[in-house]
Amino acid sequence: MNLIFDIGNVLINFKPVSFLKELFPEQATADKINETIFRSPEWPKMDLGLITHEEAAEIFCLREPSFKQEILYTMQKLGDMLTPMSDTVDLLPELKERNHKLYLLSNIHKELRDYLMAKYQFFTLFDGGVFSCDINVNKPAPEIYRKLLEEYQLPAEDCLFFDDMEENIEAAKKEGISGVLFTGAECVAMGTIS
């Protein structure tokens, strides 16, 4: 069985609201930065590989000049938000031992992808992956699933996909890939019992 993993909130914590609360004790500031960065139209454009972090930061600062310092600080600290979800990560060596092939399928910025791959050794357990920033396509567009299947010559019926967003699971199913909505490491353990 080929096991396909999303990164954010499956392998790596991605919790902007709690992250911003740690950075900015004042709730109004945290809310403003969340709206300016994480809820911006530029955030998915970074996932798509259409703009860089630097370009996005410049746009954010132009949009909210009175928060320039907080915006630049947040953009600089993004990596600190991305910590491993140890319950899931701890399962990966066992899955490899059971002869599962492991793949990544993620909407992610190039800068954050490169940071994670360099920082966390567990990513070397994966046999490959497709990232939105490399092909200018975000999930749940069908092309991103097809790209993974084609690139690694994976039969869809031999794949199981774990993602924390229902729409991404449904899109995978339309391409013939079985999917499990990720709610915790136990669903990976249950989903891979043969």
Helix spans in 5-120 (H):
16-23, 27-33, 42-47, 53-63, 68-81, 86-89, 92-97, 110-119
In this predicted structure, the answer to whether residue 146 has a pLDDT above a threshold of 60 is: yes
- For the cut 90, the answer to whether the pLDDT of residue 190 exceeds it is no
What is the rounded radius of gyration, in angstroms, for the C-alpha atoms of the chain?
17
Confirm whether pTM is higher than 0.75.
Answer: yes
Residues 184, 187, 193, 194: what is their CA dihedral angle, to the nearest 10 degrees?
-140
What is the reported pLDDT for 188?
A: 87
Segment 40-97, tens digit of pLDDT: 999 999 999 999 999 999 999 999 999 999 999 999 999 999 999 999 999 999 999 9
The number of beta carbons lying within 10 Å of the beta carbon of residue 22 is 12
